[in-house]
Amino acid sequence: MRIILGLGSNVGDRLNNLKNAVNALDFLNLQSVSSIYENSALLPANSPKEWDLPFLNMAVLGDTTDDFNTVLGKIKRIEQMLGRDIAAPRWSPRIIDIDILLADIINVVDTCWVPHKEFLNRPFALIPAQEIAGEMVHPGVGKQLKDIFIAPADLILTSYKINS
């Protein structure tokens, strides 16, 4: 399975959190790692002010022979191993967040939709994915990622880079 994962962090040493996450993705044959982008937290109305911490976001492209449910389980274990509090409220700050953005399969289960439901609406997910896998086709719109436009909003390219 060919897969694009989105990684984000807005707690602690964000860059180190991303590096640790990439290193923990040993079940993936990593092919490409995007640049790292910074953006404001995406928050619901009336969320606590202390949740408004900027994110570092990136994407990775890889292949795996694991089935979808195995991949999802491994991602959740990596998040927990790196310190993500699974009992924390949705939208709250997090050490690491790993989302399956797109794969060469379509999967819809209660806990994970592929492609990710909001993928095309989030510059911090789509732009890094376009950078590393522009030729992949999003099945919902039938276009290659490189041909999908999204305004970059407050997304800022950083000088950080993680080598795979």
Amino acid at 27: F
Q: Give catalytic residues, as residue numbers.
A: 84, 94, 97, 99
Q: Where do runs of H (alpha helix) occur along 11-157?
A: 14-24, 68-81, 123-133
At 19, list the tokens.
Answer: 């590096």
Number of other residues whose CB lies within 10 A of the CB of residue 90: 5
Shortest CA distance to 5 belongs to which of 115, 123, 144? 115
159 HSE (CA, 13 A, CB side): 0
Number of other residues whose CB lies within 10 A of the CB of residue 138: 18
pLDDT value at residue 27: 96
Give the angle 150-39-146 at the CA atoms, nearest 5°. 30
Sign of the CA dihedral with 81 first, then 85, 86, and 92 last:
negative
Averaged confidence pLDDT in the chain: 91
Could you give phi then psi for residue 121, rounded to 5 degrees?
Answer: -100, 0
Q: Structural domains in the chain?
A: 2-157 (3.30.70.560)
At 28, list the tokens.
Answer: 């993936």
Question: Cα(first)–Cα(last) distance of the chain, in Å?
Answer: 19
Tens of pLDDT, residue by residue over 107-163, are 555 556 667 688 888 999 999 999 999 999 988 888 999 999 988 878 888 988 887
Tens of pLDDT, residue by residue over 49-65, are 999 999 999 999 999 99
